[in-house]
A and B are shown apart, each in its own frame.
Chain A
Amino acid sequence: MRARTLPQSQLRSSRGTATTRRKAVVLTAVVSLGMGLLAGCADDGGDESGSSSGGGEGKTVITLGLFGTQGFKEAGLYAEYEKLNPDIKIQENVVERNENYYPALVNHLTTNSGLQDIQAVEVGNIAEVVETQASKLMDLSKVEGVKASGWLDWKWKQATTKDGQTVGLGTDVGPMAICYRKDLFEKAGLPTDREEVGKLWAGSWDKLVEVGEDYKAKAPKDTTFLDSPGGLINAILSGESEKFYDASGKVIYKTNPAVKNAFDLTAKAAKDGLTGNQTQFQPAWDTTIANSKFAAISCPPWMLGYIKGKSQPDAAGKWDVAAAPKPGNWGGTFLAVPKSGKNSEEAAKLAAWLTAPEQQAKLFAKQGSFPSAPAAYDLPQVTDAKNDMTGDSPIGTIFAEAAKEIPAQVIGPKDQIVQQGLTDNGVILVTQGKSPAEAWKNAVKTIDNNLEK
């Protein structure tokens, strides 16, 4: 100790104050850096709305927090709105996957910080947001020009609380149809005309599975009728008015006959080898699209885009779209406006504009997100819509028909957990040699553990 401090202190005695001052400066710098680091963590995102005056040269900056590919920007809607409203500047902040986006959104809502002016909410989460976060969100039904009748009835209700506060405006919906391969159907001796195909199974999913048996009898080698058990059970459940929760908010998935029937029918189809043994959206499943390993798939409009992305070029035009046995909905998004935002009034106006029929139709033309505003169904972007995979089929009209028939479904806060348990911890096991009863048991065990607080 002595040997070290001695020369230093002698040095200091000659130019003492300067060194101490410098030291003090360094110390302050270290401390303030440290504090800055802490403070920086405390208010992430906060400065984004704070930059509204600086970044936009006096304009009001409205920020959107989105997930996935909503496509507002790609469809040129921001540019158009900025042109109509010269003092508005729009910025978006996109997280790729909803699994990463939603927990952060919940965190930001509960702590009231880091929120964007507009936040997107996926349909799988909307019930939870309506139930637990409504007090943090604006009632958008009060915004000028917004009317409940502008949206599909069930879509509007999904984002409305029991006492009538609408926390989110619907953007797109996912009316379900069955996309099928005309060439494979023909080889298996099934009709290929979309009207006739639709008639084969109209009204009942059991009939669809029976068609699957017919297909299997004469199926081209190495192909299955459907892509995956998860896709089938998802499709069946999407058309039920009650699935996992009853209207009072009680979890009823275990006792609801509709759920058990859907599970059993899917398990039977999987056991008989009518479905592929894949989990949807995994790389191996993508490969079955590319290699044309299945003949039909339950498909909302956005699925056509997905199929197109994963297919070989020679699959173009080989698909067609028939009505599903029963209409159902798969997917869709809402735009919500947090009350705490600095520009919440302007943000609400923007949310209303983005979800107006004209804009939804433009979005559909560009992005394939199907409008939730019925008025858009008569606009040319929808009526004239075509897809490379389905050739000349009037997909806009087919999906619009389905959308109008979708029943209002009771959705609960933990729908996603139950659904995932039934598919990924349930029916998929049947393709791996487990009995349907074992699969159901495994699913129930997992779901119950996941639901328990």
Chain B
Amino acid sequence: MATRHDTAAPPVKGGAAPGRPPVDAAAAEAAKKRARLSRRWQRDIRWSPYAFVSPFFLLFLAFGLFPLIYTGWASLHTVELTAPTDMEWVGLRNYTRIFDDEFFWNAARNTLTIGIISTVPQLLMAMGLAHILNYKLRGSTFYRVVMLAPYATSIAAASLVFVLLFGRDYGMINWALDLVGIDAIDWQNDKWYSQIAVSSIIIWRWTGYNALIYLAAMQAIPQDLYESAALDGASRWQQFIHVTLPSLRPTILFTVVVSTIGASQVFGEPLLFDANKGASGGSQHQFQTLGLYLYEQGWVNQHLGRASAIAWAMFLILIVIGIVNSVISRRLRASS
């Protein structure tokens, strides 16, 4: 900062020559002008970075912070979508009732189980795929593009196709199971099967994305590590365990955090998995996630106050998860 002043106003060479009064006035004028300009430059240097970053912050204010605060305010009231300005103060009631709202806890449990069922296999598969793709393969670009294709597909399109695949009476998966002698599975109405079905949509969409992230990290591992491991007689598997995995630790942590956040916000897949039943997530709420429950309360049942409280509860849960995550990762870092 201290250096800015002189760098912003450099002395102009060949300036006013002293001794000639008329020119002197002109020189003074010029000096004044320079001073003015230099002040402007100072201001420019000082403030324009803020202007450049301002679009993000303006948008964040309008679409991030304001809704957050407004939601918090609304959550302390009974508000209906039919009259959003008609607020009736109820204090923390919308929060206290969450404690004995069995639908909320059911949704929380579903979010957790769907999160586990979808995230764990997804990351393991992504790791395996990345490992395979890391070998010299013919047409590797092709495989990479193919892996990313599900990620580029819209949730709506993917979910609708999966709904047809998982159909109870005319679905392709049950047809295939029938060929090998397994009875038809009610993919939409059975609790665990429906959660597996919903998770499979998530796994299908995100495995390739995570695999590419792992692949990028794997390619950054120096080749000599593998060479020296090979010289020491390490097998491929041992190389993977002792060289690849430790080098990937920060990347794995990153994907775990991102997947956890994603899993806690799962919405589109369960909504569309049973489109005609609105947002109840199945006839017995068997695959209703927190995001879906929030949507149901706010937009189907039109209780904005309750929905806002659920949104804040979700936010708090996310913060707790974030803290746990960072504690674990700090421990891991300390132990390594």
Whether chains A and B associate is yes
Measured between beta carbons, the chain A residues less than 8 angstroms from B169 are 278, 284, 287-288
Would you list which residues of chain A between 395 and 442 have a CB under 8 Å from chain B? 417, 420, 424-425, 428-429, 432, 442
Distance in angstroms between the alpha carbons of A432 and B296 in the assembled complex: 24
Q: Is the CB of B12 within 8 A of A453?
A: no
Distance in angstroms between the alpha carbons of A74 and B83 in the assembled complex: 35
> Does B117 sit within 8 A of A, measured CB to CB?
no
Distance in angstroms between the alpha carbons of A424 and B278 in the assembled complex: 9
- Closest-by-CB residue of B relative to A287 is B170
> Does B208 sit within 8 A of A, measured CB to CB?
no
Q: Is the CB of A99 within 8 A of B278?
A: yes
Shortest C-beta distance, A373 to chain B (Å), equals 29
> Does B319 sit within 8 A of A, measured CB to CB?
no
Contact flags (1/0) for B141-171 with A, using CB distance below 8 Å?
0000000000000000000000110011110
Shortest C-beta distance, A101 to chain B (Å), equals 12
Would you list which residues of chain B between 46 and 77 have a CB under 8 Å from chain A? 48, 51-52, 54-55, 58-59, 62
Shortest C-beta distance, B51 to chain A (Å), equals 5
Measured between beta carbons, the chain A residues less than 8 angstroms from B45 are 5, 9
> Does A449 sit within 8 A of B, measured CB to CB?
yes
Shortest C-beta distance, B333 to chain A (Å), equals 31
Query: Which of A27, A111, A281, A287 sits near B51, CB closer than 8 Å?
Result: A27
Distance in angstroms between the alpha carbons of A238 and B40 in the assembled complex: 75
Q: Is the CB of B283 within 8 A of A2?
A: no
Q: Is the CB of B10 within 8 A of A417?
A: no
Q: Is the CB of A23 within 8 A of B48?
A: yes
Q: Is the CB of B55 within 8 A of A34?
A: yes
Distance in angstroms between the alpha carbons of A446 and B280 in the assembled complex: 9
Q: Is the CB of A132 within 8 A of B83?
A: yes
> Does B242 sit within 8 A of A, measured CB to CB?
no
Q: Is the CB of B41 within 8 A of A282?
A: no
Q: Is the CB of A420 within 8 A of B277?
A: yes
Measured between beta carbons, the chain B residues less than 8 angstroms from A446 are 103, 280, 285
Query: Which of A23, A33, A425, A452 sits near B283, CB closer than 8 Å?
Result: A425
Q: Is the CB of B163 within 8 A of A283?
A: yes
Shortest C-beta distance, A162 to chain B (Å), equals 17
> Does B284 sit within 8 A of A, measured CB to CB?
yes
Q: Is the CB of B163 within 8 A of A30?
A: no
Query: Which of B37, B59, B101, B283 sits near A37, CB closer than 8 Å?
Result: B59
The A interface, classified by DSSP as helix, strand, loop or mixed, is helix
> Does B30 sit within 8 A of A, measured CB to CB?
no
> Does A6 sit within 8 A of B, measured CB to CB?
yes
> Does B89 sit within 8 A of A, measured CB to CB?
no
**B: number of interface residues (CB 8 Å):** 54
Q: Is the CB of A453 within 8 A of B306?
A: yes
Shortest C-beta distance, B160 to chain A (Å), equals 9
> Which bucket holds chain A's interface residue count?
35 or more
Shortest C-beta distance, B98 to chain A (Å), equals 12
Known pairs A282-B276, A428-B283; A38 contacts B170 (CB<8 A) = no
Distance in angstroms between the alpha carbons of A327 and B62 in the assembled complex: 52
Shortest C-beta distance, A4 to chain B (Å), equals 10
Measured between beta carbons, the chain A residues less than 8 angstroms from B103 are 446, 449
**Which of A48-56, A102-110, A205-213, A295-303 lines the interface with chain B?**
A102-110
Q: Is the CB of A417 within 8 A of B277?
A: no
Distance in angstroms between the alpha carbons of A452 and B41 in the assembled complex: 61
Distance in angstroms between the alpha carbons of A5 and B296 in the assembled complex: 54
Distance in angstroms between the alpha carbons of A106 and B85 in the assembled complex: 13
> Does B78 sit within 8 A of A, measured CB to CB?
yes
Distance in angstroms between the alpha carbons of A417 and B163 in the assembled complex: 24
Would you list which residues of chain A between 1 and 31 have a CB under 8 Å from chain B? 1-2, 5-6, 9-10, 12-13, 16-17, 20, 23, 27, 30-31
> Does A340 sit within 8 A of B, measured CB to CB?
no
Q: Is the CB of A27 within 8 A of B276?
A: no
**Which of B214-222, B257-265, B297-305 lines the interface with chain A?**
B297-305
- Closest-by-CB residue of A relative to B4 is A5
Q: Is the CB of A453 within 8 A of B303?
A: yes
Distance in angstroms between the alpha carbons of A428 and B305 in the assembled complex: 31
Measured between beta carbons, the chain A residues less than 8 angstroms from B101 are 449
> Does A133 sit within 8 A of B, measured CB to CB?
yes
Q: Is the CB of B302 within 8 A of A9?
A: no
Measured between beta carbons, the chain B residues less than 8 angstroms from A278 are 169
Measured between beta carbons, the chain A residues less than 8 angstroms from B284 are 425, 429, 442
Q: Is the CB of A20 within 8 A of B44?
A: yes
Known pairs A20-B40, A110-B82, A287-B170; A38 contacts B301 (CB<8 A) = no
Would you list which residues of chain B between 272 and 292 have a CB under 8 Å from chain A? 275-278, 280, 283-285
Shortest C-beta distance, A40 to chain B (Å), equals 11
Distance in angstroms between the alpha carbons of A82 and B285 in the assembled complex: 50
Query: Which of B10, B59, B167, B189 sits near A432, CB closer than 8 Å?
Result: B189
Shortest C-beta distance, A446 to chain B (Å), equals 7
> Does B7 sit within 8 A of A, measured CB to CB?
yes
Measured between beta carbons, the chain B residues less than 8 angstroms from A20 are 40-41, 44
- Closest-by-CB residue of B relative to A439 is B283
Measured between beta carbons, the chain A residues less than 8 angstroms from B37 are 16-17
> Does A84 sit within 8 A of B, measured CB to CB?
no
Distance in angstroms between the alpha carbons of A110 and B81 in the assembled complex: 8
Known pairs A106-B81, A417-B301, A453-B303; A283 contacts B12 (CB<8 A) = no
Task: Give 10 closest A-B pairs by Cβ, nearest first.
Answer: A132-B82, A424-B277, A450-B301, A34-B55, A2-B3, A287-B170, A282-B276, A453-B78, A103-B299, A34-B58
Q: What are 22 A-to-B residue pairs whose CB atoms are below 8 Å?
A: A1-B4, A5-B45, A9-B7, A12-B41, A13-B12, A27-B51, A31-B54, A33-B55, A34-B55, A34-B59, A41-B62, A99-B300, A106-B302, A132-B80, A279-B277, A284-B167, A287-B170, A288-B169, A424-B278, A432-B189, A446-B280, A453-B80
Give the interface of A toward B (CB within 8 A): 1-2, 5-6, 9-10, 12-13, 16-17, 20, 23, 27, 30-31, 33-34, 37-38, 41, 99, 103, 106-107, 110-111, 128, 132-133, 278-284, 287-288, 417, 420, 424-425, 428-429, 432, 442, 446, 449-453
